[in-house]
Amino acid sequence: MTNYRNYLEEAVIAARAAGTYQKSRFASTLDIEMKGDKNLVTEVDRESERLIVEYLLARFPGHDIVAEEGDYPQSRSPFRWIIDPLDGTTNYAHAFPWFCSSIGLEHEGELVAGVIYNPIHDELFTATRGGGAFLNGNRLSVSARSPLKNSLLGTGFPYDCASDPANNFDNFIAFQKAARGIRRAGAAALDLAYVAAGRLDGFWELKLKAWDVAAGVLMVREAGGRVTTFDGSEYDIFNDRIVASNGLIHDEMVTLLGMVAPGGAA
């Protein structure tokens, strides 16, 4: 089996460089642009992406890149980096200290390495395929908590929630009634990392992009958790319905999602 440790180590350097820059600009005046009614982008997003992409391409010039803020030529390399340079841009723009960089690596279509770095808390989540998931070097494991009524969940809402009925509102209400509590912190990559760390017992969301979930999905799996679509079928990072959990409450989550309509389950 290929050893992906070298790729992970280089991704860690890139993520830390972006995080250092993000901290240096945090709570400063930003140039904010709109990609939609509620979807923001700042110069910090773009500079963070430049730092990550340039570093990785300098070391792996034949690799493909998929990233949130830029379009990059695709060479059909067996290696593809999937990057969210600043997950939690709205938080960042409001000086709310909850954001991260997320870097995932695919090899021949399989997730093999992932890094999620929260610079404010200096928490570095890492994972390699078959090698486990870690937080600052300490091995992670999903929680052993069940059933759903005793669980803490994470979620989020799509940017078009005011105009599209698939807005997750009905799902949120149903889970709020069924679970111990729900947290909506505003960075899906960190939500997934928290499932891997056992800090959240489950997570669901819709309309996420590959760069939101690539690293986090690998972390949950490597920490012993389960990831599927809303109907419980096999998940890939280009599916826009995700359920991640410790495995123990997964069937309950999928069942509840199947009972709720139309708030995003379809």
> Does the pLDDT at position 266 exceed 60?
no
The CA-atom distances, in angstroms, between 15 and each of 168, 181, 254 are: 30, 31, 33
Least confident of 32-36, 151-155, 230-234: 32-36
Q: Please report which confidence band the pLDDT of residue 238 belongs to, taking 50, 70 and 90 as the band edges.
A: very high
- Kindly state the percentage of the chain with pLDDT values over 90: 84
Rounded average pLDDT over 93-101:
96
The CA-atom distances, in angstroms, between 193 and each of 16, 74, 78, 100, 215 are: 16, 28, 26, 11, 9
Mention every residue, 6+ apart, whose C-beta is less than 8 A from residue 58.
none
* Domains present along the chain, CATH in parentheses: 5-139 (3.30.540.10), 148-259 (3.40.190.80)
Least confident of 36-45, 78-87, 209-218: 36-45
The CA-atom distances, in angstroms, between 198 and each of 128, 134, 156 are: 18, 12, 18
**Closest C-alpha among 70, 194, 47, 56 to residue 135:** 194
What is the CB neighbour count within 10 angstroms for residue 31?
9
CB 250 within 8 A of CB 231: no
CB 132 within 8 A of CB 114: no
> Does the pLDDT at position 265 exceed 60?
no
> Does the pLDDT at position 262 exceed 60?
no
pLDDT tens digits, 41-54: 789 999 999 999 99
DSSP, residue by residue, 202-266: EEEEES--HHHHHHHHHHHHHTT-EEE-TTS-B--TT-SEEEEE-SSSHHHHHHHHHH--SSS--
